[in-house]
Amino acid sequence: MKRLNFIVLLAVFVGSLFLDSCFGDEKNGFFYEEPEAEIQSYSMVGINACFFICKIWPTKEMYENNLKNYECGIEYSTDSLFRSSTKVVIGRSKSDDFIVMGYVGELFPDSTYYVRALLVLVDDSSLGDQYYICDKYGNRYVNQFTHVIKEGKIVSITMPHLDVNDYVHVSVMELGTMNINLGVECECIDMTSAGINRYDCSLELSENDTFSENVRVAPIKSYEWESKFEFKSLKPFCDYYCRVCLSLNNKSVAYYGDVIKVSTLALKEVNGMQYVDLGLSVMWANCNVGAHSPLEPGGFYCWGELEELITEGMKVGDIDYVNTTINYSKYNMTDGKLVLEPEDDVATVKWGAPWHIPDKSDIEELNDNCTSRVLTIDGQKVVRYTSKINGNYITVPIAGWYSGGQYLDWDQAFFWTRTLSAMPSSIAFSARSNVWGLLTHNNRSNCLNVRPVVKP
């Protein structure tokens, strides 16, 4: 009996040696029946990439073919069930220890990823050469799902935090009534050290701190360490909010710096009336005579009159309507005057000198140095004249005009100059918003709005 037990034990030992020679690792004298691929270790590379060391446990057939038909890949997802994931090929084993090392970019800071190694069959005639696709950066993404023959154990990794303020700094350079100058300094070397190599950076400005509407965006060039940005055509005496937006890789995720609050200055005044500096030879009033805001039309005045004419063509003053005959007691063929004197200038009389109705040359200067566009603000249609010089603007309401005491609801903005066109003296220059230029002329008995100018 003892001899029989010895023979059985010997048979078991010899059998185990035979099995070990058929299954397991060649280096240790045995192969595995099923292949495996696992993540051995990983390390962060900056804040949006990771370096992986993986190991493959091959079958005997794989080993004898030097794994030439197989590559190791990495699959990663922010979903632990991998319902949406990315598969990246990182390479082949180049030695008998079957270690594969690879770099995976396109990860996002402040994110937790679920990652596992893949064993990918690449020599499959049914797949042709399309087992992976390359993006413009050279990253190889697995294009087919059927050739992934093994998925390893899941590892959870959390990418480092990204604080935009560590890399991009914003400072207020200058504040104006309708513009804000901001300076931006980028720590480009620090960004490179942190692995932020492919990014888009911009400066955002909005009237609300949620940046939900009317956001102005100024791109920050990646190769410039210092930049200066001027946001023009802003509202005077208004709060604005700015922040840096940094988007990485494919721009699908954005990171923001601290929100900075800045405020434009109030418009300057002469005699309590506000004016806008358009960079021209005169300052333009912020609103019309008789108006309390730029959106109100204010009064309608005949040329050279100090009181409004708005009902049935009747008024008291130098212009008298008798049937259809108009008699001018001043600025006529007798006196030969072509420019309103201060006592007949409604802007000077109501607002005080040095305010006055603009000259013909002031309208020409406005036309030559401003762009115009029609807007609707709080239900009121207006024409906005924006300076090509400094970005400041005036807003003139579209309010029609009066002729013979009858209101004409024209879809244009009219306002007077203080200059007659020529003798005989029935025609004066005025401004009218149209495609043929700002300067036009009107019968001086018509009633238009008045937008004053001043030289402080």
Quote the number of domains for the chain. 3
Q: Per mean pLDDT, which range of 124-128, 334-338, 357-361 is the poorest?
A: 124-128
* pLDDT score for 351: 98
Q: Is residue 326 part of a domain?
A: yes
- Banded model confidence at residue 8, pLDDT cuts 50, 70, 90: very low
Q: Which one of 104, 125, 158 terminates a domain?
A: 158
For residue 215, the model assigns a pLDDT of: 95
Q: What mean pLDDT is predicted for residues 127-150?
A: 54
pLDDT at 12: 36
What is the pLDDT at residue 412?
A: 86
CA atoms within 13 A on the CB side of 399: 22
pTM of the predicted protein model? 0.76
CA distance 188 to 193: 9
- Establish if 10 belongs to a structural domain: no
What's the whole-number mean pLDDT along residues 105-118? 92
pLDDT tens digit string along 270-311?
999 999 999 999 999 999 999 999 999 999 998 998 988 644
Is 11 within a domain?
no
pLDDT tens digits for range 369-411 = 999 999 999 999 999 999 999 999 999 999 998 887 788 888 8
Residue 424: pLDDT above 70?
no
Examine the domain organization and report whether 237 and 295 are in the same domain: no
Give the model's confidence band at 66: pLDDT under 50 very low, under 70 low, under 90 confident, else very high: low
Q: Which two tokens stand for residue 439?
A: 């300067």
- Is 9 among the domain residues? no
CATH label of the domain that carries residue 257: 2.60.40.10
Whether residue 220 sits in one domain with residue 197: yes
Asked, for residue 12, whether it belongs to a domain, the answer is no
Say yes or no: 258 and 117 in one domain. no
Mean pLDDT of 81-97: 84
- How, if at all, do strands 301-302 and 319-322 pair? unpaired
Same domain, 436 and 324: yes
CA distance 415 to 305: 14
Domain-ending residue, one of 228, 263, 298 = 263
Asked whether residue 434 carries a pLDDT value surpassing 70, the answer given is no
Q: What is the pLDDT of residue 442?
A: 87
Q: What are the pLDDT digits (tens) for 231-273?
A: 999 999 999 999 999 988 766 789 999 999 999 999 999 999 9
**How confident is residue 355, by pLDDT bands cut at 50, 70 and 90?**
very high
Residues 123, 172 share a domain: no
Considering the domain boundaries, does residue 3 fall inside one? no
Using CA atoms, how far apart are residues 268 and 264, in angstroms rounded to an integer? 12
Query: What are the C-alpha distances in Å from 166 to residues 209, 244, 245?
Result: 21, 12, 13
- pLDDT tens digits, 304-334: 989 886 444 444 344 544 444 566 788 888 8
- 256 is in which domain, residue-wise? 164-263
**Whether 107 and 169 share a structural domain:** no
Q: How confident is the model at residue 453 (pLDDT cuts 50, 70, 90)?
A: very high
Alpha-carbon distances of 284 from 211, 279, 323, 353, rounded to whole Å: 32, 10, 38, 14
